[in-house]
Structures are given as C-alpha cells and as structure tokens.
Amino acid sequence: MMDMQYIDKIFVSAIMHKTKPHLKYYREIIQYYHVKPEDFLFIDDNQENVDGAIRYRMHAIKINKGDDVYQKVMRILKEFCN
C-alpha cells in the first residue's frame, strides 16, 4: 500500500479523459495548482510520459519498480533549494 503522507493528489489520465504525453494532460495539472510548469515535479514509470513533462518545462523523474521514490524526490527537492 502506498504511503500518502506526502502526496497531495494523484492525477489519473483515464479519469481526466486526457492521454499522456499530450500537452493537454500536463496543462490541466498545472492549471489545477495555479503554478508554473518549472515549479512542478512530475513522477511516472514511463519514459515517454516523463519526456512529455520535460517538454512542457516540468521537472520530471522516471521511477522503476523497486526504486526508493522518497530518496529520488528528496534529491530533486535539494536541487530546487540550491
């Protein structure tokens, strides 16, 4: 089971009726939070979707089964703070 302590919202493309890596998917997420794309961290297990987020100027990381997602996110957040 996923620890939701640090997760605000999960966006499911099928529920949104948008498909990744199309720009409309990423735009809807950014508009939901009222932030700039470069202030957002996108996490996905599909490289094509990660690349789409990067094209939209988001920070993005690809996760793989067994990855320590917490450590990957903390590394990115440290980069944000520098």
Q: Kind and range of the H or E element at 79?
A: helix 69-81
Domain count, the chain: 1
Q: What is the pLDDT of residue 82?
A: 67
Q: What is the pLDDT of residue 74?
A: 83
Q: Grade residue 3 by pLDDT with cuts at 50, 70 and 90.
A: low
Contacts of 12 (CB under 8 A, 6+ apart): none
User: Domain for residue 28, yes or no?
Assistant: yes
User: Domain for residue 66, yes or no?
Assistant: yes
User: Domain for residue 6, yes or no?
Assistant: no
* Interatomic CA distance for residues 50 and 44, integer angstroms: 6
State pLDDT tens for residues 13-71: 888 888 888 899 999 989 998 999 998 888 899 999 999 999 999 989 998 988 888 88
Give the CATH number of the domain where residue 71 resides: 3.40.50.1000
**Whole-prediction pTM:** 0.76
User: Domain for residue 3, yes or no?
Assistant: no
> Which ranges of the chain would DSSP assign to H, the alpha helix?
13-16, 23-33, 47-55, 69-81
User: Domain for residue 30, yes or no?
Assistant: yes
Domain assignment of residue 60, given as a range = 13-81
Q: Which residues pair with 61 in a beta bridge?
A: 43
Q: What is the pLDDT of residue 13?
A: 85
